């Protein structure tokens, strides 16, 4: 057993305040990524339940895409994961970084 597996928590707090375990995460066959499911995976990684590498490999997600989910959650919470808001907020943050 690896060191990471020994120190891995049994559960973490999810985006809606509920406990998340490996069994309650979205299925690895998920194709439609709604904000809630994205936020669950981000919470699992942030809490140490899974590593970024495990998420990307298991769910077939590109590293860049997952990092954009983390950035969205850090900036705006679950609203940062709404696809319809992505372009609006991207433009806003790009303008702020220029000045």
pLDDT mean over 28-36: 93
Segments of 37-78 assigned E as strands: none
The verdict on pTM exceeding 0.75 is yes
Instruction: Sort residue 77 into left (φ over 0), alpha (ψ -120 to 50) or beta.
Output: left
Mean pLDDT calculated for residue range 7-17: 92
The single-letter DSSP state of residue 81 is G
| Average pLDDT of the segment spanning 22-40 | 94
* Contact between residue 67 and residue 46 where contact means Cβ atoms under 8 Å apart: no
- Mean pLDDT along residues 12-24: 94
Asked whether 54 and 73 are in contact (CB, 8 A), the reply is no
| pLDDT at residue 80, rounded to an integer | 84
Residues 6+ apart with CB under 8 A from 98: none
Distance separating alpha carbons of residues 2 and 82, to the nearest angstrom: 36
Confidence of residue 79 (pLDDT cuts 50, 70, 90): confident
pLDDT of 14: 93
Domain at 3-98: CATH code: 1.10.10.10
Instruction: Identify which has the larger pLDDT, 96 or 42.
Output: 42
Query: Using CA atoms, how far apart are residues 71 and 50, in angstroms rounded to an integer?
Result: 17
Q: Which range (2-11, 44-53, 75-84) has the least confidence?
A: 2-11
């Amino acid at each position: 057993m690896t060191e990471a597996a020994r120190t891995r928590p049994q559960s973490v707090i999810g985006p809606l305040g509920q406990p998340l375990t490996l069994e309650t995460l979205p299925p690895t066959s998920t194709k439609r990524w709604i904000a809630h499911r994205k936020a669950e995976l981000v919470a699992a990684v942030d809490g140490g339940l899974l590593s970024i590498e495990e998420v990307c490999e298991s769910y077939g997600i590109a590293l860049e895409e997952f990092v954009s989910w983390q950035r969205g959650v850090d900036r705006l919470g679950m609203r940062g994961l709404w696809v319809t808001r992505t372009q609006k907020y991207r433009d806003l943050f790009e303008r702020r970084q220029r000045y």
